[in-house]
Copies of this chain bind each other. A is one copy, B any other.
Amino acid sequence: MEVGFLGLGIMGKAMSLNLLRHGFKVTVWNRSPSKCDELVEYGASTAESPAAVVKKCKYTFAMLSNPVAALSVVFDKDGVLEQISDGKGYIDMSTVDADTSSKISEAISSKGGYFLEAPVSGSKKPAEDGQLVILAAGEKTLYDEVIPAFDVLGKKSFFLGQVGNGAKMKLVVNMIMGSMMNAFSEGLVLAERSGLEPGNLLDVLELGAIANPMFKLKGPSMIQSNYSPAFPLKHQQKDMRLALALADEHAVSMPVAAAANEAFKKARSVGLGDLDFSAVHEIFKVQEPPS
């Protein structure tokens, strides 16, 4: 199977390598061409532009760093649009907002091409190990055709329906995660203030029905007030806000998510926005002996 791949950042490079290792013929392109070299060593071909990649390959994957880059490779000169045509498929695995996704989808379709948005859950390590979770939405036929590639890139892929649903699914998951992080923080502070060892709480949680990787990973550093940013609090709060906006559209009342969102805003208001989202823990702490 011959595929194109646009974007060789940390994620894209790891993903292209996995495709090569599993026997795919891969034609790569990256804005800075030097990043293509290592892939060539592993057997990749290169092309001089997104348009050239699409001209050569039936299926082209993209993994760009942000919405601006995602739009640029499609709409700019020598971009995807110039060569996309009947029967060709374009699969954008970047994490972008619904509007960006829709614009790309409409442009591709208007030229007769097929489109999938396919944002992933998982970062560098799962990308290298082919253990991503892929949230695809758009053209079902295209999804079925590229399953062999998704099987190499991820441990699991989902087809979620129309374009936009991939982004929505990420919002819903992140919203639940944000509320859980608040509940967890409240629990840690309550434990400590009422004379329990927070470390014991972590151990008890780990053995029960609500044990989960996030509590296990973040708990110990939260106890030490260590909030090195893995997922910045301001981004978590933005996702809470977008999930609440989605809920507003559909008249879904979400009082717990709303309370969690306000707590994240409080954290932003005291300058914690660039720390890890677990830093919301700080705002629940009791600063003075209560009167």
User: B257, A156: Cβ atoms under 8 Å?
Assistant: no
What does the 1/0 interface line of A176-190 toward B look like (CB < 8 Å)? 110110111011011
User: A214, B204: Cβ atoms under 8 Å?
Assistant: no
User: B169, A175: Cβ atoms under 8 Å?
Assistant: no
Chain B residues contacting A243 (CB-CB under 8 Å) are: 190
Closest B residue to A267 using CB positions: B253
Say which size band chain A's interface belongs to.
35 or more
Closest B residue to A271 using CB positions: B288
Q: DSSP class of A's interface residues: helix, strand, loop or mixed?
A: helix
* Chain A interfacial positions (CB closer than 8 Å to B): 121, 133, 135, 155-156, 158, 160-162, 165, 168-169, 172-173, 175-177, 179-180, 182-184, 186-187, 189-191, 193-197, 200-201, 203-205, 207-214, 217, 234, 241, 243, 246-263, 265-266, 268-271, 273-274, 284-291
15 contacts between A and B (CB under 8 A): A135-B204, A156-B203, A161-B196, A168-B195, A169-B200, A169-B201, A175-B187, A180-B183, A186-B256, A211-B213, A212-B212, A250-B290, A253-B269, A268-B291, A271-B290
User: A252, B287: Cβ atoms under 8 Å?
Assistant: no
Copies per complex?
A: 4
Chain B residues contacting A172 (CB-CB under 8 Å) are: 187, 190-191, 194, 196, 201
